[in-house]
Amino acid sequence: MRKASLAVCGSLVVSVALVVACSSETPPALTSKDAGGIPAEVDARRPFPSFRDDVAPILLQSCALAACHGSKDSPKGIFLRERAQMYLELQKTSPTAVGEKFIVAGDPVTSYLMVKLEGRQNTLDAKCAASELMNCGTIMPQADIEAFTPDKLDTFRKWITEGAKDN
């Protein structure tokens, strides 16, 4: 008799747990791939940022300025003024950090774009010494432009982590 009541009780606990778990109003967050040691929470309704809808607008607003990456003649090596060309530009290797790709799909830690956005460019000084600029420059965006919020940085990090697709 005791075994039967324990089995019923155990089934009841499992049933209640399932009802509670399934009745949540908000969809559960999915944990993305590890982004530089920090697990990134991703909304289950939209598993990863889109280049067209999330990444490109940030680049156009903050990076495609004439003083930054808005001129094809800029020695900074990446032209971000035209949305149609922007994704292709991000696939290049940096002319300032020799051998470093702007985007390494799946790996935000080694993507030169993230290195610059996070202010870690000094870790690559030896690679930048051989470039025309002779150093890796400063954090992006530059000091006279509003710094990226943690949400904007996460957008880039998640997009790269999820494969940096042209979507």
DSSP-assigned letter for residue 101: B
Tell if the pTM clears 0.75, that is, is over it. no
The pair of structure tokens assigned to 103 is 């985007």
Q: How many CA atoms lie within 13 A of 95 on its CB side?
A: 9
pLDDT digits (tens, 9 = 90+) for 85-142: 999 999 999 988 989 999 999 999 999 999 999 999 999 999 988 777 678 888 999 8
Non-local (6+) Cβ contacts of 9 within 8 A are none
Burial letters for 9-26: b for 16+ Cβ neighbours within 10 Å, e otherwise?
A: eeeeeeeeeeeeeeeeee
Residues 47-73 pLDDT 10s: 789 999 999 999 999 999 888 899 888
What pLDDT score does 45 carry? 56
131 with 98: CB under 8 angstroms? yes
Q: What is the pLDDT of residue 164?
A: 97
Domain range summary for the chain, segments of one domain joined by +: 29-161
| Local structure of 93: helix, strand or coil | strand
Using 50, 70 and 90 to split pLDDT, how confident is the model at 13?
A: very low
